[in-house]
Every structure is written in structure tokens, then in C-alpha cells.
């Protein structure tokens, strides 16, 4: 089954916005065994959008169309569809009610520009599983058309929860597609390539994908087949082969990320953690608390940006700061231990470093970061050197720190420093 993706918006053809929508949709459709033959982006332009729709109806079996569904004047997808497909705009009662109750709930007025969003081409089916996001679908001349909002999170939500399940129902003859995603940290793309050279000849028909996702690397394993149990067994076999070779670098699988994994481990062990963050400025706490239920294991922390805060709230001694400096193993160990005690936690995690672009020296260049971990009767610290700009150094530091927790609780060794 082949089709295309059309993304609509002046922000796309002017290069203002990177088109994450087509990329995401293409990846998800491909993984589900559907073939995307073309991706097209056009501006909020009547003629260009109509032309794209006409071509689709001639050449494809399905299309995902994103953008132009909002309330402003440049949102005219519905109007164009109505004219191009000869389906007059009708008010969709289901949609109107959803809009009304949402507007009421927030204590606002139903203005004409909001009401506009309830007008849809005749024959449309509203796609809105729970009101969190809203699009519509149409079937015209055997072609399935899915119109989704341009807002990435909403589009993504609808693709996963409505569009893909619907397409798989419509195209019943598809083979089963099994997919695994393995997420790695601490191993470079060339190093991963070497591993896969070793694997050659043992991987059967499994298709691999490599996706750098700074500072992580993601690997996908895909396999199609009529026989679902056989496909799954084969994927199991390859996955364990990969885990045998580079297991400790795999920090998560599927939709999980490092904070989910660390959260589950802490919860399972009934342990509490506290953080003392210098160069990350709160990012580690932010990531830990992105997980629902994290209040069960996250005690809190200190953003010890200045030296004063390190002394006052992370129990670092002025002596240590004077002798070794804020960016040192000694300081990070005292921070980890201090925050653990101050927050009455089982684990104290600390980072201190130079995120740049200013503040580097010959001895301690930008990217120098110390990570420390204090537990009941043990204490660890390692000095790392990270590369990149300020945000990349912060991100990499938070990732390394969170991965430390995973490795510590797993009994694995930490990644080597410098």
C-alpha cells in the first residue's frame, strides 16, 4: 500500500520551521509496512494545495495531510478540500459540541474564528479520540485522506492513536510488521557500525535503521512476515544477539527514555534520590520529574549554581572549594554526599562543570564535567570531557548522570572518564 504525505504551511516552504511532521509520519507508516512514495510541502496557497490534492487522488492510495486546520485566516485546508473534492462545508455537530464545552470549561467566549473550526467538508469523520487533538478523515475515489493539525504534538498523537490503527484496519492484507527500538548511550555510530559488521550473515531478513539522537543513538530492527509468532521469535533472536555484544550501552527500549527506566528502578527498589546540580542548572531534576509519579522517589534538589549555594545547601566545605575549585572531584563528592544527607535520600547525585562558552581554562576547558554519586556507604566520582555548545554539554551531562543511576542500580561499571 503506497501513498504520500503533504504538509501545508508558509513556515515550511520558507524554512522557518523544520518539517518534523512528515518525518514522523513517514517513519511510523514505513514501520507499519506502508510505503511512502513522496513527501510534499506547500505554502498556505490555494492553488498549490489543490494541485497537491489532485495529484494524490490520481497517484496514491492514501495521504496524510497536515496543517491549515487552525482558526486564523491563513488556515484554509477545509475550504480547499471542500472546493477541490466538491464537498460543501457543513457544520460538524460533534466537533461543535467539543469546541463549545472546551470553551465553556475555560470560561471563554465562542467567537466566529473558534466556531470556524467546526466547519468541515461533507462526509468527514472527526478524528478526536479524547479532545486532546483534532483532525478529520475522508474517503474519496478509493483514496484514504487524513487531515491532521500542523502542531507537532497533536499530529503525532493522532497518527499513533487514530490514523495508524484506522489504516491498518482499511488495508487488511498487510503483512505483520514487527519492530524493536533499542536506545544506546556511550557508544559512537562508527563503533556501532563495527558491531554490525560482526553481525553480518546472522541477521536474516531483519532491516536495521540507525538514528543519531544526540547524545543517544537509536537502532531499529524491523521484520515483515505473514507469521506473527515467527517474526517475533526472529526479532527476539537478533535482539539478544545485539544485547550479548553491547548490552550495557542499551539503556532503554521502545518508547521508554532514561528517566522512565531510572524511575522504575528506583520505585522497584523503594529508594529515594536527591540531586545537586551546578552546570545543568535544574535539567536533571526537570527530566526526573517529567515522569508521572516521580514524587514517590524524587526527594528534590539544589541548583547550586554559585559557590555560596554549594556551601550553604550542599554541605560543600569552603576549604574544598578554595583548595580544589568548584569543578573538581572533591567538590562533586561533597555535593553528592551533602545533598543526600540534606534531603534524607538514599542516593545523592551531583554534577559540576563548565558548560561554556565562557569560563574555560587550559586546565579545565569548556566541557569539563565531574559527576558524583553518594550512596549509603560508598561514593563515586568521575571526570568527563563533553563536546558541543552550551545546551549540548548540559544535555550530555544530564544524560550521563541519569545513566549513572541506571548503571549503579544494575551493578554495571560507569562509563570511563578522562
Number of residues binding to a second copy, judged by CB under 8 A? 101
CA dist., res. 332 & res. 382, Å (int) = 9
Dihedral of CA atoms 209, 213, 214, 219 in degrees, nearest 10, equals: -40
Contact 336, 310 (CB under 8 A): no
3-class SS string, 274-326? EEEECCCCCHHHHHHCCCCCHHHCEEEEEECCCHHHHHHHHCCCHHHHHHHCC
Identity of the residue, 109 or 376, whose beta carbon is nearer to a second copy in the bound complex: 109
Report 129-158 residues binding a second copy (CB under 8 A): 132, 151, 153
The nearest distance, CB 85 to a second copy, in angstroms, is: 21
The nearest distance, CB 49 to a second copy, in angstroms, is: 10
Identity of the residue, 125 or 220, whose beta carbon is nearer to a second copy in the bound complex: 220
Report 242-281 residues binding a second copy (CB under 8 A): 275, 277, 279-281
The nearest distance, CB 4 to a second copy, in angstroms, is: 9
Q: What b-and-e string marks burial along 200-237, b requiring 16 or more CB atoms within 10 Å of the CB?
A: eeebeebeeeeeeeebbbebbbbbeeeeeeebeebbee
CA dist., res. 56 & res. 145, Å (int) = 9
17: contact with a second copy by CB under 8 A: yes
The nearest distance, CB 167 to a second copy, in angstroms, is: 15
Segment near a second copy (CB under 8 A); pick from 21-29, 250-258, 260-268, 373-381: 21-29
96: contact with a second copy by CB under 8 A: no
The nearest distance, CB 283 to a second copy, in angstroms, is: 4
321: contact with a second copy by CB under 8 A: no
At residue 306's C-alpha, the angle toward residues 304 and 310, to 5°, is 50
Segment near a second copy (CB under 8 A); pick from 8-16, 223-231, 240-248, 372-380: 8-16
In the DSSP assignment, the letter for residue 51 is H
Report 330-389 residues binding a second copy (CB under 8 A): 342-344, 355-359, 387, 389
Pairing relationship of beta strands 143-148 and 62-66 according to DSSP bridges: parallel
Identity of the residue, 26 or 409, whose beta carbon is nearer to a second copy in the bound complex: 26
Identity of the residue, 132 or 139, whose beta carbon is nearer to a second copy in the bound complex: 132
Using the rule CB under 8 A, which residue among 86, 97, 101, 111 binds a second copy? 111
Those residues whose C-beta lies under 8 Å from the C-beta of residue 273, and which sit 6 or more positions away, are 266, 288, 297, 298, 299, 345, 346, 347, 348, 349, 405
Residue 8, SS3 per DSSP:
strand
Report 26-85 residues binding a second copy (CB under 8 A): 26-31, 36-43, 45, 48, 70-74
Report 160-189 residues binding a second copy (CB under 8 A): 188-189
Instruction: Say how many CA atoms lie within 13 Å of 36 toward its Cβ.
Output: 20
Report 292-311 residues binding a second copy (CB under 8 A): 292-295, 298-306, 308-309
Q: Phi, psi (5° rounding) for residue 393?
A: -65, -40
106: contact with a second copy by CB under 8 A: yes
Using the rule CB under 8 A, which residue among 15, 201, 229, 270 binds a second copy? 15
Compose the 192-221 pattern: x for residues touching a second copy by CB under 8 A, - for all others. xxx-x-----------xxxxx-x-----x-
Contact 366, 354 (CB under 8 A): yes
CA dist., res. 366 & res. 354, Å (int) = 5
Using the rule CB under 8 A, which residue among 290, 318, 361, 410 binds a second copy? 290
CA dist., res. 377 & res. 263, Å (int) = 22
Question: What cell was used for 251?
Answer: 539503556
391: contact with a second copy by CB under 8 A: yes
The nearest distance, CB 95 to a second copy, in angstroms, is: 15
CA dist., res. 99 & res. 300, Å (int) = 39
CA dist., res. 5 & res. 295, Å (int) = 41
The nearest distance, CB 123 to a second copy, in angstroms, is: 27
Using the rule CB under 8 A, which residue among 364, 394, 406, 407 binds a second copy? 394
Identity of the residue, 213 or 233, whose beta carbon is nearer to a second copy in the bound complex: 213
Cis-peptide into 357, omega within 30 deg = yes
Identity of the residue, 42 or 95, whose beta carbon is nearer to a second copy in the bound complex: 42
Amino acid at each position: 500500500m503506497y501513498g504520500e504525505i503533504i504538509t501545508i504551511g508558509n513556515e515550511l516552504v520558507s524554512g522557518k520551521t523544520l518539517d518534523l511532521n512528515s518525518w514522523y509520519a513517514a517513519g511510523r507508516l514505513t514501520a507499519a509496512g506502508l510505503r511512502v512514495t513522496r513527501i510534499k510541502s506547500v505554502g498556505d496557497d490555494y492553488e498549490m494545495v489543490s494541485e497537491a490534492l489532485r495529484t494524490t487522488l490520481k497517484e496514491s492510495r492514501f495521504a496524510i495531510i497536515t496543517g491549515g486546520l487552525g482558526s486564523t485566516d491563513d488556515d484554509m485546508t477545509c475550504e480547499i478540500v471542500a472546493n477541490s473534492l466538491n464537498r460543501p462545508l457543513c457544520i460538524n455537530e460533534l466537533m461543535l459540541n467539543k469546541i463549545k464545552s472546551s470553551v465553556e470549561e475555560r470560561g471563554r467566549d465562542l467567537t466566529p474564528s473558534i466556531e470556524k473550526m467546526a466547519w468541515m467538508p461533507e462526509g468527514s469523520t472527526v478524528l478526536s479520540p479524547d479532545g486532546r487533538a483534532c483532525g478529520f478523515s475522508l474517503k474519496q475515489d478509493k483514496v484514504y485522506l487524513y487531515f491532521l493539525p500542523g502542531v507537532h504534538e497533536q499530529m503525532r498523537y493522532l497518527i499513533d492513536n487514530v490514523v495508524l490503527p484506522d489504516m491498518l484496519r482499511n488495508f487488511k492484507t498487510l503483512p505483520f510488521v514487527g519492530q524493536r527500538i533499542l536506545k544506546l548511550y556511550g557508544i559512537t555510530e562508527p563503533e556501532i557500525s563495527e558491531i554490525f559488521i560482526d553481525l553480518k550473515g546472522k541477521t536474516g531478513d531483519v532491516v536495521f535503521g540507525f538514528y543519531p539522537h544526540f547524545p543517544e543513538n537509536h537502532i531499529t530492527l524491523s521484520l515483515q512476515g505473514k507469521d506473527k509468532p515467527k517474526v517475533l521469535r526472529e526479532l527476539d533472536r537478533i535482539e539478544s544477539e545485539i544485547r550479548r555484544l553491547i548490552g550495557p550501552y542499551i539503556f532503554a527500549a521502545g518508547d521508554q527514555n532514561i528517566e522512565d527506566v531510572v524511575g522504575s528502578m528506583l520505585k522497584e527498589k523503594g529508594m529515594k534520590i536527591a540531586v545537586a546540580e551546578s552546570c545543568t542548572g535544574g535539567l536533571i531534576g526537570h527530566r526526573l520529574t517529567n515522569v508521572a509519579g516521580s514524587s514517590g522517589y524524587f526527594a528534590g534538589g539544589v541548583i547550586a549554581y554559585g559557590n555560596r549555594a554549594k556551601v550553604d545547601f550542599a554541605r560543600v566545605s569552603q576549604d574544598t572549594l578554595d583548595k580544589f575549585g568548584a569543578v573538581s572531584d572533591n567538590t562533586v563528592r561533597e555535593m553528592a554526599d551533602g545533598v543526600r544527607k540534606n534531603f534524607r535520600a538514599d542516593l545523592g547525585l551531583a554534577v559540576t562543570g563548565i558548560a561554556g562558552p565562557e569560563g574555560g581554562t587550559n586546565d579545565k576547558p569548556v566541557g569539563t564535567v565531574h559527576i558524583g554519586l553518594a550512596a549509603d556507604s560508598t561514593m563515586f566520582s568521575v571526570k568527563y570531557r563533553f563536546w558541543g555548545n552550551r545546551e549540548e554539554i548540559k544535555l550530555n551531562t544530564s544524560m550521563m548522570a541519569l545513566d549513572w543511576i541506571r548503571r549503579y542500580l544494575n551493578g554495571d561499571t560507569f562509563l570511563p572518564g578522562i
